[in-house]
Amino acid sequence: MDYDKLLNVSVELGCRLMSSGAEIYRVEESVRRLLQAYGLESPEVFAIPNCVIVSIATPEGHPITRMRRIAGHGTNIELLEQCNGLCRRLCAERLPVDEAQELLLALAEHTPQYENRKVLLGYGIAPAFFSPLFGGGVEDALAALIGGLAVGFCLLYGGRLIGTNSFFRTAICSAVASLLSLLLVRLGLGQSVDTVSISVLMVLVPGVALTNAMREIMAGDIISGLSRAADSILTAAAIAIGAAIGLAIGGIF
C-alpha cells in the first residue's frame, strides 16, 4: 500500500471537514478511524481551527508526517455531511487509495451550491424574521429586510472594495447596517432604530463558531476552543465598532 497517498487522503479529509465547520473532535476522530481502518495502528492526529497535523508509522517502522494549514473558513453543513458519509464508507469498505482520493476530490463537485441571488434573499429574509422577535412591527420587518439585503450585497459582491480581512469586513458591514437602519427609520420605513439595526446585525453574529468554542473548551480541546472563542470575540467587537461608527455618521447628518 502507498502510505504517502493514504496519508494525503486522510489529511485532505480532515482539512475539508475543518473547512466545513466541523468540531475538532470530529476532525481528529474521523482521520484516526480512517487510518486505523486501513491497518495503521495508533496514528497521531492533532487539529486546531487553522491547521491539521497527522503522523503515522508504516509497518516497517518508517514515520511519515503531514501538516496542512487551513485558510479562513465558514460553515458548510452539506459538505460536512458528505465528508462524514465518505469517511464512514471508506472505513467500512476499505476502497483502494486511488479510488478514495478520487471520491474525496469529487465531493466539492457534488455539493450543491446556492446561487448568489438565493443567498442574498436569505440575508434579507433572516433579519425580517428576527424583527418580530425583538418587538418590531411590519415596518421594522420591512426595513430589516432592506438592511439585510444591503449587508448581503456587501458580503457577496464587495470583496474587492471591502477586502478579505474578516475583522474589517465585519466592521464595514456593521456600519452599513446601522447607518442604513437609521436612514430607513428617518424615512418612515421603520419605527425603531434599535430593533431594525439589531435584527440586521444578527446575520453577522458568529453563533456557530461561539457554540463550537464552548463545546471544545468543555471537551478539553482548550487550544482550539480558545482560538475559536477569540475569533468570535473579535467578530463581536467588529460588529460593535461598526455599529457605533454607522450611528455616529448618521447622527452627524
Q: What is the pLDDT of residues 200-217, one digit of tens each?
A: 999 999 888 888 888 888
> Is the pLDDT reported for residue 130 higher than 90?
yes
pLDDT of residue 218: 86
Q: Is the dihedral of CA 11, 13, 15, 21 positive or negative?
A: negative
> Is the pLDDT reported for residue 31 higher than 90?
yes
- Number of other residues whose CB lies within 10 A of the CB of residue 51: 14
pLDDT of residue 110: 61
Q: pLDDT averaged over the chain?
A: 87
> Is the pLDDT reported for residue 197 higher than 70?
yes
pTM recorded for the entire structure: 0.79
* pLDDT, tens only, 164-185: 678 888 999 999 999 999 999 8
pLDDT of residue 111: 62
pLDDT of residue 54: 93
pLDDT of residue 247: 86
pLDDT of residue 29: 92
Angle between helices 138-157 and 116-133 (to 10 degrees): 150
pLDDT of residue 252: 65
pLDDT of residue 23: 85
Q: Find the range with the poorest average confidence among 145-149, 214-218, 236-240.
A: 214-218
Q: Find the range with the poorest average confidence among 84-88, 140-144, 161-165, 222-226.
A: 161-165
pLDDT of residue 225: 85
> Is the pLDDT reported for residue 241 higher than 90?
yes
* pLDDT, tens only, 37-49: 988 888 899 988 8
pLDDT of residue 109: 65
Q: What would the 3-class secondary structure string for the chain be?
A: CCHHHHHHHHHHHHHHHHHCCCCHHHHHHHHHHHHHHCCCCCCEEEEECCEEEEEEECCCCCEEEEEEECCCCCCCHHHHHHHHHHHHHHHHHCCCHHHHHHHHHCHHHHCCCCCHHHHHHHHHHHHHHHHHHCCCCHHHHHHHHHHHHHHHHHHHHCHHHHCCCHHHHHHHHHHHHHHHHHHHHHCCCCCCHHHHHHHHHHHHCCHHHHHHHHHHHHHCCHHHHHHHHHHHHHHHHHHHHHHHHHHHHHHHC
